[in-house]
């Protein structure tokens, strides 16, 4: 079954063709990074305007790269939220029109569920449940237990900033560009992670929630009160010390969750920050040998993309095939609904 998927939740205009939830026939992403680098972050109206320019050409490109005609496509999948509503509306309206005109069923997908399925892409082998997933993105940060397809339990989430947001803000504090994650992880390679003792916020012993705003403030205070030269070495040491604080907290939370749920068969790391090599390395250290550790097979599946939306749509369709038809009325939602309530 071939699905044409669309994703426009933030600043990437993306379309992909996915076969049977795993095979990526095409995955086209028009990034707006250069546009938003000028303002140091995403301006929603600017992002939305760019989506309107890019959406149709990107969709055509996804079809032609996959060597597909419209007859080959059985369904359209689209991110319905959460995200920037002005961005989401471009994707959902495109999907509504295409679904109606081409008579294809329409499968709305939760953006974070899309990330949860990003580890399925490009894999043939069996993936075993239960899966513990750490989602680390610019806009969200959760620890989720998946007992079976679409049986999600959120164990914890961020109480303030998401990890990616903290990377972006720290990058801004020390004058690195947007997005901050890749810039920080690159600089951290030459830094001393022990130079600054930034706080590790673990919250209560049993808590799987995250909090990164205190860490961000600690970095800000360190930089503001520093009397010496803010040279490249200082910045590298800030990056390494900050990154280590984030990564240690995440590894500890995963370790605690594995202790509480010893039946977990696999641990997955997804979302934009899953591109971070230090985070992957640290998680590998706390995951027992008999538990499989996966992250998305390609870097382009870590950050926002449409391929993951196509994968998530396929597995939802397989569970409830009678539920979907051609639609014209998918409207975006900015709300982060409780996943399990929505899908059970
Ligand atoms: O999943 P994503 O594309 O967007 C959201 O759904 O939010 O994640 C984007 C985030 C940005 O905050 C970016 O700084 C971060 O992922 N990121 C990284 C790395 N690459 C991207 N953070 C840390 N290390 C990286 N290598
Ligand atoms: Zn995302």
| Any atom of ligand 1 within 6 Å of the Cβ of 139 | yes
Cβ atoms of 121 and 308 closer than 8 Å: yes
Cβ atoms of 91 and 48 closer than 8 Å: no
pLDDT on residue 88:
95
Nearest ligand to the CA atom of 114: 2
| Any atom of ligand 1 within 6 Å of the Cβ of 212 | no
pLDDT on residue 24:
98
Residue nearest to atom 1 of ligand 1 (CA): 272
Q: Cα(71) to centroid of ligand 1, in Å?
A: 36
| Any atom of ligand 1 within 6 Å of the Cβ of 305 | no
Rounded to whole angstroms, how far apart are CA atoms 246 and 41? 21
Atom of ligand 1 nearest to the CA of 277: 26
Nearest to residue 170, comparing CAs of 155, 187, 194? 187
Q: In which region does residue 197 sit, left (phi positive, over 0), alpha (psi from -120 to 50) or beta (all else)?
A: beta
| Any atom of ligand 1 within 6 Å of the Cβ of 82 | no
pLDDT on residue 106:
96
Q: Cα(111) to centroid of ligand 2, in Å?
A: 6
Q: Cα(20) to centroid of ligand 1, in Å?
A: 27
Q: In which region does residue 122 sit, left (phi positive, over 0), alpha (psi from -120 to 50) or beta (all else)?
A: left
| Any atom of ligand 1 within 6 Å of the Cβ of 50 | no
pTM here is 0.93
| Any atom of ligand 1 within 6 Å of the Cβ of 27 | no
| Any atom of ligand 1 within 6 Å of the Cβ of 257 | no
**Residue 128: is it exposed, middle or buried by C-beta count within 10 angstroms (0-12/13-18/19+)?**
exposed
- For the record, the structure tokens of 3 come out as 């699905």
Residue nearest to atom 13 of ligand 1 (CA): 181
Nearest ligand to the CA atom of 303: 1
Q: What is the pLDDT along the chain (344 residues), one digit of tens a residue?
A: 999 999 999 888 999 999 999 999 999 998 877 777 777 777 888 788 888 999 999 999 999 999 999 999 999 999 998 888 889 999 999 999 999 999 999 999 999 999 999 999 998 899 999 999 999 998 889 999 999 999 999 999 999 999 999 999 999 999 998 789 999 999 999 999 999 999 998 888 789 999 999 999 999 999 999 888 889 999 999 999 999 999 999 999 999 999 999 999 999 999 999 999 999 999 999 999 999 999 999 999 999 999 999 999 999 999 999 989 888 888 887 666 655 545 64
Helix (H, G, I), strand (E, B) or coil at 149: coil
Nearest ligand to the CA atom of 309: 2
Atom of ligand 1 nearest to the CA of 140: 7
| Any atom of ligand 1 within 6 Å of the Cβ of 114 | no
Whole-Å CA distances, 23 to 146, 177, 299, 311: 22, 34, 16, 9
Sequence-distant (≥ 6) Cβ neighbours of residue 21 within 8 angstroms? 117, 120, 310, 311, 314, 315, 318
pLDDT on residue 194:
97
| Any atom of ligand 1 within 6 Å of the Cβ of 168 | yes
């Amino acid at each position: 079954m071939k699905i044409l998927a669309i994703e426009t939740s933030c600043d990437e205009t993306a379309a992909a063709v996915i076969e049977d939830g795993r095979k990526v026939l095409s995955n086209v992403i028009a990034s707006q990074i250069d546009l938003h680098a000028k303002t140091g972050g995403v301006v929603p109206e600017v992002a939305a305007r760019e989506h309107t320019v890019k959406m149709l050409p990107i969709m055509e490109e996804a079809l032609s790269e996959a060597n597909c005609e419209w007859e080959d496509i059985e369904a359209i999948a689209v991110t319905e939220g959460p995200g920037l509503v002005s961005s989401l509306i471009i994707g959902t309206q495109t999907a509504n029109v295409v679904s109606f005109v081409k008579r294809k069923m329409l499968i709305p997908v939760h953006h974070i569920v899309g990330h949860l399925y990003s580890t399925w892409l490009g894999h043939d082998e069996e993936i075993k449940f239960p899966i513990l997933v750490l989602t680390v993105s610019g806009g969200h940060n959760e620890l989720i237990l998946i007992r079976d397809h679409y049986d999600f339990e959120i164990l914890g989430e961020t109480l303030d900033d998401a990890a990616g947001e903290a990377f972006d803000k720290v990058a801004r504090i020390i004058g690195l560009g947007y997005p901050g994650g890749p810039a920080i992880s690159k600089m951290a390679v030459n830094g001393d992670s022990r130079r600054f003792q930034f706080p590790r916020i673990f919250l209560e012993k049993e808590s799987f929630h995250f909090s990164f705003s205190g860490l961000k403030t600690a970095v800000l205070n360190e930089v503001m009160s520093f009397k010496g030269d803010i040279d490249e070495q200082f910045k590298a040491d800030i990056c390494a010390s900050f990154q280590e604080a984030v990564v240690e907290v995440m590894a500890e939370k995963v370790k605690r969750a594995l202790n509480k749920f010893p039946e977990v068969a696999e641990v997955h790391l997804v979302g934009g920050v899953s591109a971070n090599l230090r985070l992957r390395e640290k998680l590998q250290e706390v995951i027992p040998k008999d538990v499989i550790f996966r992250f998305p097979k390609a870097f382009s599946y870590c950050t926002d993309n449409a391929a993951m939306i196509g994968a998530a749509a396929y597995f939802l369709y397989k569970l409830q095939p009678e539920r979907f038809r051609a639609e014209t009325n998918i409207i975006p939602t900015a709300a982060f609904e409780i996943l399990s309530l929505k899908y059970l």
